[in-house]
């Protein structure tokens, strides 16, 4: 159970290789979380990530999970809740960024990655929501992106997927009202991670740890939407309404 | 699931950590027993008037039995013995009792709790040093068990272990559907009260140590915001029930017309908290100044003496949406040095203490999970400010209390670390054995139980 000062005891990560998710879990473990379950495509790699969490006092279990296979991901989520019991916080952190130019040459790949990002999120999000509703408490944190706020030439396939993820997460939060559970949608800007290695950094770029701090602050405040960094909220208020001719000329 | 169950989001009085449960409202012991027998995959817990500060009367995803409909009030017998429903409020009981020349044997600082809740938390009051906790005045109780059976328990009977596991057992042994209680004589609805101001903590503790034994009821409000020489200054109020002779002749006819009312309606829920270090300081200054330096044998109403905060309906909303918590510890006599350290720490806390109360306890109950033990109890309200500084601060206070042989009050707790539970309650295994015998399948559970691993310890328990 999460206590009166917002300290969860147990955390489930979907996409256990995500640097943002792992940095968030680390902060929660430092606050007193003691039970961590990491689900992801590469259990061996996650075992390495588990070590520092164990050293910080958490009991960590790791299992295989493939967001590209909705049937399998729903099964894996059900199994995680059965094996562990309640989770106080669930981080939905999987996603594929992909290369826009390659997508334009390879529509099948674009469709596949979009299926992971959208259908995978819908399947996992609904499966988690069902479990949280049954347990009567808990927060599902969905990693969206500012890329979904307004499509850009340089990554609109990814942006389209994140727009869908964002709409889904906000709707799911509404659906969970009165259930004791809730959804928090996280909209990070550019983050320096393995996923973005080699890409030109956009303005307001940040580290995974900085996003994690924003996520934990959002959990504390009980808000529905977290922007990381927070200033992006106001920037996108403007960007969303710029004429396309102006928006087109912006860098990043 | 019975048809009349409705899923509701519940919190304790502190308005923190909301969770949802299916709430049932039985109107008889039999209906409560049926609800227990029907069960739920996520267990069942009783709830009274929701005055526990934390998560004791919440059960996320499971069933919560709202007992307030089980509110029968039997006749008060000549010896002051009365049999009541577990969901009857102390307020209703006190109204009937005072009219008949009696009062509650023990009352906490609010009249809005149920008899079942008073037993489950083994509540204490200003007379603990003389009269002990609530359980000392329970002649017998009827407990609806996890399997739907209803058992009659007495302090010395064959079922004594379950009686004492129910006392202070935070509802995890069953649902108290009925209790027979011994009231205390009270000729009038008035109290005779002596008030003294103490200039600092040493003065306050000296006055309490020296004078408490002369009074039936004693409590001290203590200022934990002011630093420096006046640190720990306070106002001591002590008294007893006023005899009829102490009441003016013209008021004697109405001397038992006890009808307390909330003076102010519910404070509207505030989006932003009213509480800051500045407002806490102003409030504490005002409280100190309004008290007389010394006044004796003042006639006060029962409600003014026992329930000053009940004057505002739902005063808990002034802390805003983030809520608040109460940290209440007891520190054994002989460890006054630790009490002083704790108070010094609170004065410099990262979050201002809005309200603090100090009281000396008498003998402990024999119940394994009962909170009071001979020593000093300190209850402090804090806004539930999030963040590492405040959580680390409170964790450090807990550790000091545990090391001194003291403990926290589970009816107030909403955030302690589970690792400290067996240190603070060394007889927990005895309690678990009696509890498990009555509920081997662990069908009674609550958010407090889940958070602290009360009935079943968490698999992973680090040493503190």
Cα separation of A201 and A192, whole Å?
Answer: 8
**pLDDT for residue B267:** 65
State whether A181 and B7 contact (CB < 8 Å). no
Q: Please write the tens of the pLDDT for every residue from B108-162.
A: 999 999 999 999 999 999 999 999 999 999 999 999 999 999 999 999 989 999 9
Is residue A124, in this structure, part of any structural domain at all?
yes
Q: Which of B402, B414, B194 is nearest to B326 (CA)?
A: B414
State whether B384 and A86 contact (CB < 8 Å). no
User: Chain A contact for B19, CB < 8 A?
Assistant: yes
State whether B18 and A180 contact (CB < 8 Å). yes
How distant, in Å, are the alpha carbons of B93, B171, B363 from that of B184?
Answer: 12, 26, 19
Residues A156 and A110: beta-carbon distance below 8 Å: no
Compute the average pLDDT of residues B57-77. 98
Is residue B262, in this structure, part of any structural domain at all?
yes
User: Chain A contact for B414, CB < 8 A?
Assistant: yes
Task: Return the H-helix or E-strand segment holding B119.
Answer: helix B115-120
A87, A158, A190, A227: which is the annotated catalytic residue? A158
Higher pLDDT, B73 or B4: B73
State whether A1 and B451 contact (CB < 8 Å). yes
Q: How far is A58 from chain B (nearest CA, A)?
A: 9
Is residue B286, in this structure, part of any structural domain at all?
yes
**pLDDT for residue B268:** 65
A239 phi, psi to nearest 5 deg? -55, -35
**pLDDT for residue B463:** 41
Q: Which residues of A touch B320 (CB under 8 A)?
A: none
Q: Check whether B77 has a pLDDT greater than 90.
A: yes
Is residue B21, in this structure, part of any structural domain at all?
no
Is residue B274, in this structure, part of any structural domain at all?
yes
SS3 A186: strand
Q: Which tokens hold the place of A30? A: 């430092």
**Which pLDDT band, with edges at 50, 70 and 90, does B269 fall under?**
low
**pLDDT for residue A197:** 85
Task: Return the H-helix or E-strand segment holding A38.
Answer: strand A35-40
Compute the average pLDDT of residues B68-97. 98
CA B335 to chain centre: 23
Q: Check whether B263 has a pLDDT greater than 80.
A: no
Least confident span in A151-155, A215-219, B281-285, B423-427: B281-285
Total number of domains constituting chain A: 1
Total number of domains constituting chain B: 1
Domain range enclosing A201 = 10-247
User: Chain A contact for B7, CB < 8 A?
Assistant: yes
Which CATH number covers residue B250?
3.30.70.2520
Which value does ipTM take for this structure? 0.92
Q: Is A158 a catalytic residue?
A: yes
Which CATH number covers residue A200?
3.40.50.720
**pLDDT for residue B271:** 56
Is residue B400, in this structure, part of any structural domain at all?
yes
Q: A57 — alpha (psi -120 to 50), left (phi > 0) or beta?
A: left
**pLDDT for residue B284:** 84
Compute how many other C-beta atoms are within 10 angstroms of the C-beta atom of residue A250.
11
Domain range enclosing B266 = 190-417
Can you list the residues of chain A whose pLDDT is less than 70?
Answer: 251-252
Q: Indicate the residue of B21, B54, B386 with minimum beta-carbon distance to A6.
A: B386
Complete DSSP assignment for A120-160: HHHHHHHHHHHHHHHHT-EEEEEE--GGGTS--TTSHHHHH
Compute the average pLDDT of residues B400-427. 97
**Alpha-carbon torsion angle B33, B38, B41, B46, nearest 10:** -20
Is residue B149, in this structure, part of any structural domain at all?
no
Q: Which of B228, B238, B231, B212 is nearest to B376 (CA)?
A: B212
Q: How far is B143 from chain A (nearest CA, A)?
A: 27
Q: Which of B129, B142, B93 is nearest to B114 (CA)?
A: B93
Is residue B264, in this structure, part of any structural domain at all?
yes
State whether A4 and B460 contact (CB < 8 Å). no
Q: Check whether B416 has a pLDDT greater than 90.
A: yes
Q: Check whether B16 has a pLDDT greater than 80.
A: yes
**pLDDT for residue A100:** 95
Burial B290-301 (b: 16+ CB within 10 A, else e): ebeeeeeebbbe
Q: How far is A200 from chain B (nearest CA, A)?
A: 35
């Amino acid at each position: 159970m999460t206590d009166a000062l917002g300290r969860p005891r147990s955390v489930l990560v979907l996409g256990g290789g995500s640097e943002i998710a792992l940095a968030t879990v680390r902060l929660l473990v430092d606050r007193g979380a003691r039970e961590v379950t990491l689900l992801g495509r590469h259990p061996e790699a996650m075992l390495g990530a588990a070590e520092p969490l164990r050293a910080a006092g958490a009991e960590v279990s790791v299992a295989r999970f493939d967001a590209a296979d909705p049937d399998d991901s729903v099964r894996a989520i059900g199994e995680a809740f059965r094996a562990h019991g309640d989770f106080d916080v669930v981080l939905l952190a999987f996603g594929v960024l992909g290369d826009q130019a390659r997508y334009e040459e390879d529509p099948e790949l674009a469709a596949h990655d979009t299926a992971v990002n959208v259908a995978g999120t819908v399947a996992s999000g609904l499966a988690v929501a069902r479990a949280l509703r049954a347990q009567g408490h808990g927060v599902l944190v969905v990693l969206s992106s500012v890329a979904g706020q307004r499509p850009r030439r340089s990554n609109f396939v990814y942006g389209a997927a994140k727009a869908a993820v964002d709409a889904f997460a906000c709707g799911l939060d509404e659906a969970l009202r009165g259930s004791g559970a809730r959804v928090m949608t996280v909209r990070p800007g550019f983050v320096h991670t393995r996923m973005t290695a080699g890409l030109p950094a956009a303005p307001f770029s940040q580290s995974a740890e900085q996003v994690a701090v924003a996520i934990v602050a959002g959990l504390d405040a009980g808000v529905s939407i977290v922007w990381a960094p927070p200033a992006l909220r106001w920037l996108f208020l403007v960007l969303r309404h710029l004429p396309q001719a102006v928006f087109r000329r912006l860098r990043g | 699931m019975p048809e009349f169950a409705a899923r509701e989001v519940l919190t304790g009085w502190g308005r923190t950590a909301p969770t949802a449960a299916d709430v049932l409202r039985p109107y008889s012991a039999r209906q409560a027993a049926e609800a227990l027998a029907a069960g739920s995959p996520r267990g069942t817990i009783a709830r009274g008037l929701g005055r526990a500060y934390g998560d004791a009367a919440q059960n996320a995803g499971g069933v919560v039995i709202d007992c307030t409909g089980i509110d029968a009030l039997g006749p008060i017998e000549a010896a002051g013995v009365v049999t009541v429903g577990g969901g009857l409020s102390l307020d209703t009981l006190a109204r009937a009792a005072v009219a008949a020349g009696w009062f509650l044997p023990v009352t906490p600082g609010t009249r809005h709790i149920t008899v079942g809740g008073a037993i489950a938390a083994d509540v204490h009051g200003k007379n603990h040093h003389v009269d002990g906790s609530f359980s000392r005045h329970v002649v017998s109780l009827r407990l609806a068990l996890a399997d739907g059976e209803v058992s009659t328990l007495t302090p010395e009977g064959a079922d004594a272990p379950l009686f004492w596991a129910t006392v202070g057992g935070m509802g995890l042994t069953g649902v108290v559907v009925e209790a027979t209680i011994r009231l205390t004589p009270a000729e009038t609805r008035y109290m005779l009260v002596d008030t003294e101001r103490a200039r600092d903590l040493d003065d306050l503790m000296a006055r309490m140590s020296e004078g408490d034994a002369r009074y039936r009821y004693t409590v001290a409000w203590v200022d934990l915001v002011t630093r420096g020489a006046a640190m720990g200054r306070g106002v001591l109020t002590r008294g007893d029930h006023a005899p009829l002779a102490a009441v003016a002749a013209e008021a004697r006819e109405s001397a038992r017309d006890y009808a307390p009312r909330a003076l102010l309606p519910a404070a509207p829920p505030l989006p932003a908290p009213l509480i800051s270090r500045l407002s806490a300081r102003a409030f504490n200054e005002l409280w100190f100044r309004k008290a007389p330096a010394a006044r004796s044998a003042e006639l006060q109403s029962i409600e003014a003496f026992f329930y000053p905060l009940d004057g505002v309906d739902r005063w808990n909303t002034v802390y805003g949406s983030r809520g608040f918590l109460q940290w209440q510890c007891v520190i054994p006599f002989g460890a006054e040095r630790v009490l002083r350290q704790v108070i010094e720490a609170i004065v410099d806390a990262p979050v201002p203490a809005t309200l603090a109360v100090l009281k000396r306890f008498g003998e402990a109950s024999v119940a394994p999970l009962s909170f009071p033990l001979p020593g000093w109890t300190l209850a402090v309200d804090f806004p539930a400010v999030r963040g590492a500084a405040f959580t680390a601060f409170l964790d450090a206070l807990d550790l000091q209390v545990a090391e001194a042989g003291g403990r926290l009050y589970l009816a107030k707790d909403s955030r302690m670390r589970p690792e400290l539970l067996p240190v603070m309650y060394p007889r927990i295994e005895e309690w678990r054995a009696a509890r498990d015998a009555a509920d081997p399948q662990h069908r009674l559970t609550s958010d407090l139980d889940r958070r602290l691993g009360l009935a079943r310890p968490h698999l992973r328990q680090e040493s503190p």
